[in-house]
A = this chain, B = another copy of it.
Amino acid sequence: MRAIDENTVTDAVLEQMASTADPRLKEVMVALVRHLHDFAREVDLKPEEWLAGIGFLTAVGQKCTPHRQEFILLSDTLGLSTTVNALHDRRMAASSTKSSILGPYYRQNAPAFQLGESIATKTHGQEIAIYGRVTNQADEGVSDASIEIWQTDEDGNYDLQKDDAEEMDLRGCFHADDQGRFFLRSVRPHAYMIPMDGPVGKLLRAQGRHGYRPAHIHFLVGAPGYREVVTASYLAGDKYLDSDTVFGVTPSLVTETKIDDRSSPLPSLPSLRFDFTLVAETQGAASGRVGADASQLSF
């Protein structure tokens, strides 16, 4: 019988997992176990700290509801989501639009709108125009592109954070015209604090972090034959651009809101232009789809 100690245990685990049928699951779990054990050895993790960790992860799981995904929030605030997005971007062509984090507020089945309509169906605020073009790598318009968009209101709240969370607002789905162009109306979003009333908020406070995200607009853009892009446009000038609590901002995603923008389809409104470059889906390649509704997650 093997004597188990803090070092030999790792091989014992890897041996038991050697029978994993799926080679990718095996590869991922081997690396995970190695890093998990290395982490515990490196910090000489104490039993009471381990127990605090178990309690924390349990609280994160129990905070999740169909309207709140605390584990995505944890992944976001630890920078894991951005790491995964950046690895995804690296596999794409350099010219494709950079990813940004999905965040915990994506919802499937957002209402469909016609070009030019406003997604602000319930809230009032400073009206803005959002427009742009979806192109492929040959700079040709992608005529059947779909653009899903979601954002906060002027106070920094998503519809899901409100009392009537079942009612959708400030989110919608548009289809580009025959040249890949889209335009719509909305209200100016505001910097917002991520939900701080759960275990993730408690951790952030213990870390002395402010918990704010700069004002931004989420996009999920796709078309048949192309890889979906999950990204966001960050409003230039926001004071949290350099300290986004979920590390979603990179310079190519920061956008100026322009007054008297002659190229805007709605030039009377402050206009924000954001273009997307899609990459063709290569046969057999894994999808980059990360747009599952959090409430529908299952292992």
A166 at the binding interface (Cβ < 8 Å): no
With A209-B16, A292-B51 known as contacts, the answer to whether A57 contacts B57 (CB < 8 A) is yes
For this complex, 23 residue pairs linking A to B, each with C-beta atoms less than 8 Å apart, are A1-B251, A4-B82, A4-B247, A4-B248, A9-B79, A9-B82, A12-B247, A28-B45, A35-B36, A36-B78, A40-B80, A44-B87, A45-B83, A46-B84, A48-B286, A48-B287, A48-B290, A50-B75, A50-B84, A51-B292, A57-B57, A59-B299, A60-B61
CA distance A90 to B75 in the complex (A): 32
CA distance A39 to B78 in the complex (A): 13
Interface contact A17-B207, CB-CB below 8 Å: yes
Contact of A37 among B5, B49, B79 (CB under 8 A): B79
Instruction: Please give me the residue from chain B that is nearest to A6 by CB atom.
Output: B86
Which of chain B's residues have a CB closer than 8 A to the CB of A22? 206
Interface residues on chain A, size class: 35 or more
Which of chain B's residues have a CB closer than 8 A to the CB of A178? none
With A16-B243, A40-B84, A47-B288 known as contacts, the answer to whether A72 contacts B57 (CB < 8 A) is no
A275 at the binding interface (Cβ < 8 Å): no
CA distance A41 to B88 in the complex (A): 11
Interface contact B286-A50, CB-CB below 8 Å: no
Interface contact B17-A209, CB-CB below 8 Å: yes
Which of chain B's residues have a CB closer than 8 A to the CB of A225? none
Interface contact B1-A45, CB-CB below 8 Å: no
With A57-B61, A79-B9 known as contacts, the answer to whether A3 contacts B208 (CB < 8 A) is no
A254 at the binding interface (Cβ < 8 Å): yes
A151 at the binding interface (Cβ < 8 Å): no
Which A residues are within 8 Å of any B CB, using their own CB? 1-6, 9-10, 12-13, 16-17, 19-22, 24-29, 31-33, 35-52, 54-62, 64, 69, 71-72, 75, 78-91, 199, 202-203, 206-209, 230, 241-243, 245, 247-251, 254, 286-290, 292, 294, 297-299
CA distance A20 to B209 in the complex (A): 8
Most interface-central of A22, A24, A29, A45 (chain B CB within 10 A): A45
Which of chain B's residues have a CB closer than 8 A to the CB of A249? 1, 4
Closest chain B CB from A31 CB (angstroms) = 5
Interface contact B48-A241, CB-CB below 8 Å: no
Which of chain B's residues have a CB closer than 8 A to the CB of A289? 47-48
Interface contact A40-B83, CB-CB below 8 Å: yes
Closest chain B CB from A35 CB (angstroms) = 4
Closest chain B CB from A9 CB (angstroms) = 5
Which of chain B's residues have a CB closer than 8 A to the CB of A83? 6, 9-10, 37, 40-41, 45
Most interface-central of A21, A25, A26, A54 (chain B CB within 10 A): A54
CA distance A288 to B36 in the complex (A): 21
Interface contact B64-A202, CB-CB below 8 Å: no
